[in-house]
Chain A
Amino acid sequence: GNSVTQMEGPVTLSEEAFLTINCTYTATGYPSLFWYVQYPGEGLQLLLKATKADDKGSNKGFEATYRKETTSFHLEKGSVQVSDSAVYFCALQANAGGTSYGKLTFGQGTILTVHP
């Protein structure tokens, strides 16, 4: 079945440091890939997505590139801020006939804490 593996956390950084959160996946075919962010006490917000190989998703300074050869979708940001402190989830969605649909399969989440 499909699965997503994220790097072990938590991750603690100083403000303006470079961030990488690793994500690898196992899936048949060509899934769509997502990063979601969850702030304390809130639901998940879609951060970025990529729907085919070599696509780069980007939003709010965060980027991730869909690498089919390494089955990875690592999240990066060049300079983190205190306000980026949250839990980050990598997820995939199955794709059939060119359409992504149905359930999301999530990684276990990575807690990011950024200190001033």
Chain B
Amino acid sequence: NAGVMQNPRHLVRRRGQEARLRCSPMKGHSHVYWYRQLPEEGLKFMVYLQKENIIDESGMPKERFSAEFPKEGPSILRIQQVVRGDSAAYFCASSPPNRGYTYEQYFGPGTRLTVT
């Protein structure tokens, strides 16, 4: 059973370009979460999605960031007009639909974004 897949693993963008990060959840998982890890910091929640729905986007910056999880295909985190401060590791996690009463989250290997 494959784990959570993220690609690319490393992404370099120049200031002003767009970055697209992809996440394929584990088989059977319908919930996806995105987290950002800035250098020397812990992980900060960004957005929680189910298929075709954004459930909680309270951690998303108001501008330039968007996320989707379409009916078919991976979840996409999109960053428009990247700035140096966007350089970070972006982790995706997935969880199954109601299994017991704790939605355990399984993490992918992350995408390390570098903005030059």
Judged by a CB distance under 8 angstroms, whether A105 is at the interface is yes
Q: CB-CB < 8 A to B106: which residues of A?
A: 46
Q: CB-CB < 8 A to A102: which residues of B?
A: 48, 55-56, 103
Given that A100-B103, A101-B103 are known contacts, is A106 also in contact with B42, CB under 8 Å in the complex? yes
Q: How far is the CA of A103 from the CA of B58 in the complex (A)?
A: 10
Map CB proximity to A onto B78-116 as digits: 1 under 8 Å, 0 otherwise: 000000000000010100001001111111111000000
B4 nearest CB neighbor, chain A only: A43
From residue 18 to 53 of chain B, which have CB atoms closer than 8 A to chain A? 33, 35, 41-45, 48
Judged by a CB distance under 8 angstroms, whether A32 is at the interface is yes
Least CB distance, B24 to chain A, in whole angstroms: 13
Map CB proximity to B onto A43-80 as digits: 1 under 8 Å, 0 otherwise: 11110010100000000000000000000000000000
Dominant secondary structure of chain A at its interface with chain B: strand
Q: How far is the CA of A100 from the CA of B35 in the complex (A)?
A: 18
Judged by a CB distance under 8 angstroms, whether A35 is at the interface is no
> A107 and B33: CB pair below 8 A?
no
> A43 and B42: CB pair below 8 A?
no
Most chain A beta carbons < 10 A, residue from B44, B55, B103: B103
> B101 and A51: CB pair below 8 A?
yes
Judged by a CB distance under 8 angstroms, whether A93 is at the interface is yes
> A49 and B42: CB pair below 8 A?
no
> A99 and B45: CB pair below 8 A?
no
From residue 81 to 108 of chain A, which have CB atoms closer than 8 A to chain B? 89, 93, 98-108
Most chain B beta carbons < 10 A, residue from A98, A103, A106: A103
- Interface positions of B (Cβ within 8 A of A): 4, 6, 33, 35, 41-45, 48, 55-56, 58-59, 91, 93, 98, 101-110
- Interface positions of A (Cβ within 8 A of B): 32, 36, 42-46, 49, 51, 89, 93, 98-109
